[in-house]
């Protein structure tokens, strides 16, 4: 513990007070398809939906863990090979013909057809994350914003789901983020509109390692909202895999290529009490000169955060809109039932109706 307390001394010296500033905030979240809670779902249908903090649906798809990924890839393009979805736009810009070209965690269509038993069902979650990144990419690079805006992502500005082409030393995540940075710069150059991009993490290895030491050293004293940039030493000692962080010495001849991160890590407490939650937040590494402004904007967005106090309201709104419940859940359940009945002969379709009614009745009787 003594070593940890000594290590947090550097961050304590760099803590700054957050001064409130006003700006538009924007967030989007992908529905967690594993939590649809369908009563009857023999084929594990998953709804992939991306919703923004205004309640607007930006992406919608349905698939199962046994969906042929070659067919899924083809669904992103029209007959001429032009993108017809946000994911198709991202794939085209990154020169990826299939989803397995975009992410090594998406199985190839051949493997899905020939060895389905070896395919982990978790690839559906990777597809969900790809859809979320694709919506962010299209929103920033093509649709744009009419006013100064802070985009708040649910998660840090890092990702290991994108493919790294070792032969060409081409990390697709970095290429995508470079395009996003270029679009942000062009927006300011042409329209004088500032777009900031931040990511907030639900969990952080840095906080898991140093939270107690920070409290003992009173790094964030009560009285004001505060933030501080995490020194590379602290961040590096927190990660088992150092490739998850972008280091300042990357230009060295023997340095490993940055493949997964464009974030500079900060810690922030938006509440004014010593016991208020501290969040791990990434800012784009090209926007750290504006860190005081960005945290002022985030502070104003957390001021009336509900139900989670001192947490970005725009992100909480997006999370609420993204839930598949009530009427949306009923529609999805009806579609699943209809798909199952279509596979059965007419004389057996009533069995599905009977089982569905029975399961619903039992569920409704539970306290």
Residue 133 lies in a domain: yes
Q: Range with the lowest mean pLDDT among 106-115, 255-264, 267-276?
A: 255-264
For residue 158, what is the DSSP state? B
Average pLDDT, the chain: 86
- Average confidence (pLDDT) over 275-291: 96
Q: What is the pLDDT of residue 169?
A: 78
Q: What is the pLDDT of residue 48?
A: 86
311: confidence class by pLDDT, cuts 50, 70, 90: very high
Give me the helices (H) in the chain, please. Answer: 2-7, 9-12, 69-74, 86-93, 99-102, 109-114, 123-138, 172-191, 205-216, 232-238, 291-302, 313-322, 326-342, 349-365
Provide the total of helices (H) and of strands (E) in the chain, helices listed first: 14, 11
Residue 215 lies in a domain: yes
- Average confidence (pLDDT) over 100-121: 94
**Tokens (6 digits) for 221:** 């004293």
Domain that includes residue 180, residue range: 2-324
Burial class (CB in 10 A: 0-12, 13-18, 19+), 271: buried
- Could you check whether the bond before residue 307 is cis, i.e. omega within 30 degrees of 0? yes
Q: What is the pLDDT of residue 361?
A: 44
Q: What is the pLDDT of residue 36?
A: 53
Please report the DSSP string for 261-298 in residue order. Answer: B-EEEEEEE-SSSTTS--EEEEEETT-GGGHHHHHHHH
Contact 300, 308 (CB under 8 A): no
Q: What is the pLDDT of residue 329?
A: 62
Residue 339 lies in a domain: no
pLDDT greater than 70 at residue 41:
no
Residue 330's CB is within 10 A of a number of other CB atoms, namely 10
Residue 120 lies in a domain: yes
- What is the per-residue pLDDT across 162-176, written as a single tens digit (0 to 9) for each? 999 777 778 999 999
Residue 300 lies in a domain: yes
Residue 332 lies in a domain: no
Domain count, the chain: 1
Q: What is the pLDDT of residue 258?
A: 81
Q: Range with the lowest mean pLDDT among 132-146, 153-167, 289-303?
A: 153-167
In which element (H, E) is residue 29 found?
A: strand 24-30
Look-up of token digits 């000169």? 289
Entry pTM: 0.86
Residue 342 lies in a domain: no
Residue 20 lies in a domain: yes
Percent of the chain with pLDDT over 70: 81
Contact 305, 313 (CB under 8 A): yes
pLDDT greater than 80 at residue 99:
yes
pLDDT greater than 50 at residue 55:
yes
């Amino acid at each position: 513990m003594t070593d940890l307390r000594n290590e947090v001394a550097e961050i304590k010296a760099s803590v700054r007070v957050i001064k409130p500033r006003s700006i538009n905030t924007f967030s989007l979240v992908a529905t967690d398809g594993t939590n649809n809670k369908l009563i009857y779902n023999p084929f594990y249908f998953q709804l992939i939906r991306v919703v923004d903090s205004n309640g607007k649906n930006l992406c919608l798809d349905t698939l199962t863990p046994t969906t042929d990924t070659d067919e899924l890839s083809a669904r992103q393009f029209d007959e001429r090979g032009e993108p017809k979805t946000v994911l198709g736009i991202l794939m085209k810009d990154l020169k990826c013909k299939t989803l397995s070209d975009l992410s090594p965690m998406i199985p190839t269509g051949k493997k899905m057809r020939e060895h389905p038993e070896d395919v982990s069902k978790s690839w559906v979650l990777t597809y969900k994350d790809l859809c979320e990144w694709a919506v962010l990419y299209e929103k920033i690079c093509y649709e744009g914003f009419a006013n100064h805006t802070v985009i708040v992502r649910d998660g840090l500005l890092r990702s290991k789901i994108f493919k790294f082409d070792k032969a060409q030393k081409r990390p697709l995540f970095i290429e995508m983020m470079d395009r996003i940075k270029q679009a942000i710069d062009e927006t300011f150059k042409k329209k004088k509109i500032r777009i900031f991009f931040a990511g907030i993490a639900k969990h952080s290895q840095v906080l898991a390692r140093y939270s107690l030491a920070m409290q003992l050293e009173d790094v964030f004293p009560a009285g004001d909202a505060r933030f501080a940039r995490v020194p590379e030493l602290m961040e590096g000692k927190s990660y088992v895999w150092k490739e998850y962080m972008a280091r300042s010495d990357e230009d060295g001849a023997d340095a490993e290529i940055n493949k997964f991160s464009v974030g500079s890590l900060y810690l922030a407490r938006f509440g004014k009490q010593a016991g208020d939650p501290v969040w791990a937040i990434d800012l784009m590494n090209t926007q750290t000169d504006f860190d005081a402004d960005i945290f002022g904007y985030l502070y104003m967005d957390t001021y009336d955060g509900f139900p989670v106090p001192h947490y970005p309201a725009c992100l909480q709104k997006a999370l609420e809109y993204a839930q598949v419940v009530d009427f949306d859940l009923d529609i999805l359940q009806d579609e699943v039932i209809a798909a199952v009945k279509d596979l059965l002969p007419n004389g057996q379709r009533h069995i599905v109706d009977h089982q569905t009614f029975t399961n619903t009745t039992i569920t409704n009787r539970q306290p």
